[in-house]
Amino acid sequence: MRVKKGTLALDTPAKEVGSIKRRKDSKKHYVDFYYFGHRIIRSTELDDTTANEHRVRDFLNRITKRIEAGTFKFAEAFPGATKKEKAFFTSLEGREYRPEPHQVFYGEYVKEWMKTVFPSFGSPTKHRDYKESIKRILPYFRNMTFHQITGHELFRFTESLKWKTGANKGKSVSRSRKVNILIPFRAIWNDACEHHRWVIKSPCDGIHKKLPKTEKKERLALRFYEWELFLENLEDHYRPIAELMILTGMIVSELSALTKDSIQGEYLKLTSSYVLKEEKTSMKTAFRKRDIYITEAIRKQLDILAARAKASYLVTNIRGTRLNSTDFAKVWKKAVDQAGINPMTSYIARHSFAAWSLTIGINPLRLVKLMGHASKQMVYEV
């Protein structure tokens, strides 16, 4: 076999792809190369020195080999690129862009979450509560990545929570308040893990064990003489409303939703509630939708309310408009203060209704239905 003569270019330098540049307004090295036909210019943040130039050239040579081998990953090579760029080039590479926990800042994710997921919450109460909690959460975690948020860090956050206003201003918030604030935190964390397909330990795991234990508050009920003293100091217009509460166990949001059509024969039908100026057909539990038998005492109060109601709504404030929980709370507090009894909210009427019913010997299972409880546990244990 005849062998062809010729020389090998053993000393010919390897072809270099991409270039190293320096801008007039900068003393840093820049890389300049093409990837999938798109020109990429990025600062290396390295000073313009000979040693650094060799480092950058080595980097370009390495990524060139990976590009030729089809193993180059733009998102890993340029972690500082925008999400849009990472997603774009990852798509061209035939992969799905999924940032790791250390690449996603909590604040950035929450901003996107508020636009996409949060609007799907239909409850106005949930909207309000989540927004209030997120106002507490964001300042602490905004600039942390999901990788940096640990169980210990979450506990430190709960320990930093203080009352901002009121008599307890500057004091630590209660355990129950801490738990409520963590509800949206947990929801956001779980959504992020599902969205990015992360399999990581949640900082919420075991957090309840770390929170300080507090004694459960006793459900208070009024003595009858206290109730009478309270009614004496309550504005005349609101007495039938308070009387109806103590006779039925209804709360303000249920009263506000009553219409004249709610009175059907011998029964008062509760089918909705009125919360934060919004009608809710889905109540706290399905059992809260209930029929209350109209006794003679209940009928008396309903007749008063119906006679003065100018619109379809049965329970009105002194201005003749629909009963508002905020206004009613002020009227209630004023009567409590004038009566000189222990501070209490209108919810105590519901507790008192239950306690008085048991005192006169009502069947506990009957009381469960009257109160609209999901089970008998509340009546027997609470």
**Angle 138-211-187 from CA coordinates, rounded to 5°:** 40
pTM: 0.58
The residue among 85, 120, 97, 95 whose CA lies nearest residue 191 is 120
User: What integer is the mean pLDDT of 218-235?
Assistant: 90
pLDDT digits (tens, 9 = 90+) for 123-138: 777 888 899 999 999 9
What is the mean pLDDT of the segment spanning 199-208? 91
- pLDDT-based confidence at residue 10 (cuts at 50, 70, 90): very low
State phi, psi for 32 to the nearest 5 degrees: -140, 110
Tell me if the domain spanning 106-210 has CATH number 3.40.50.970. no
Quick one: pLDDT band at residue 3, thresholds 50, 70, 90?
A: very low
Contact criterion met (CB below 8 Å) for 78 and 88: no
Confidence of residue 214 (pLDDT cuts 50, 70, 90): low
Two domains, one topology: 106-210 and 224-381? no
Torsion angle defined by CA atoms of residues 304, 237, 324 and 221, in that order, rounded to the nearest 10 degrees? -90
pLDDT of 191 over the 90 cut: yes
* % of the chain residues with pLDDT over 90: 43
The per-residue pLDDT for 62 is 87
Over the stretch 175-186, which tens digit does the pLDDT of each residue have? 989 999 999 999
Q: Specify whether the CB–CB gap between 102 and 150 falls below 8 A.
A: no
The full set of domain ranges for the chain reads 19-95, 106-210, 224-381
% of the chain beyond a pLDDT of 70: 92
Q: Is the pLDDT of residue 287 over 60?
A: yes
Q: CB of 357 within 8 A of CB of 367? A: yes
Q: Decide if 305 contacts 314 (C-beta within 8 A).
A: yes
- Whether 283 has a pLDDT exceeding 70, the answer reads no
The model's confidence at residue 4, banded by pLDDT at 50, 70 and 90, is very low
Identify the helix (H) or strand (E) that includes residue 34: strand 28-35
307 three-class SS: helix
**What is the predicted pLDDT for the residue at 44?**
83
Asked if 358 contacts 367 with a C-beta cutoff of 8 angstroms, the reply is yes
Secondary structure class of 277 (helix, strand, coil): coil
Asked if pLDDT for residue 2 goes beyond 60, the answer is no
Q: What is the pLDDT of residue 305?
A: 94
CB 268, CB 255: distance < 8 Å: no
| One-character DSSP codes across 207-226 | HHHHSPP-PPPP-----HHH
- What pLDDT does residue 16 have? 53
Give the tens place of pLDDT for each residue, 70-96.
888 888 788 778 888 888 888 888 777
pLDDT (mean) for 139-146: 95
Name the percent of the chain in helix, strand, coil, to the closest 5: 50, 10, 40
pLDDT of residue 216: 61
pLDDT averaged over the chain? 86
Q: What is the 3-state secondary structure (H, E, C) of 326-359?
A: HHHHHHHHHHHHHHCCCCCCCCHHHHHHHHHHHH
Give the model's confidence band at 144: pLDDT under 50 very low, under 70 low, under 90 confident, else very high. very high
Domain 224-381 is of which CATH architecture? Orthogonal Bundle (1.10)
Pick from 259, 261, 257: which is nearest to 278 by CA? 257
What pLDDT does residue 230 have?
A: 95
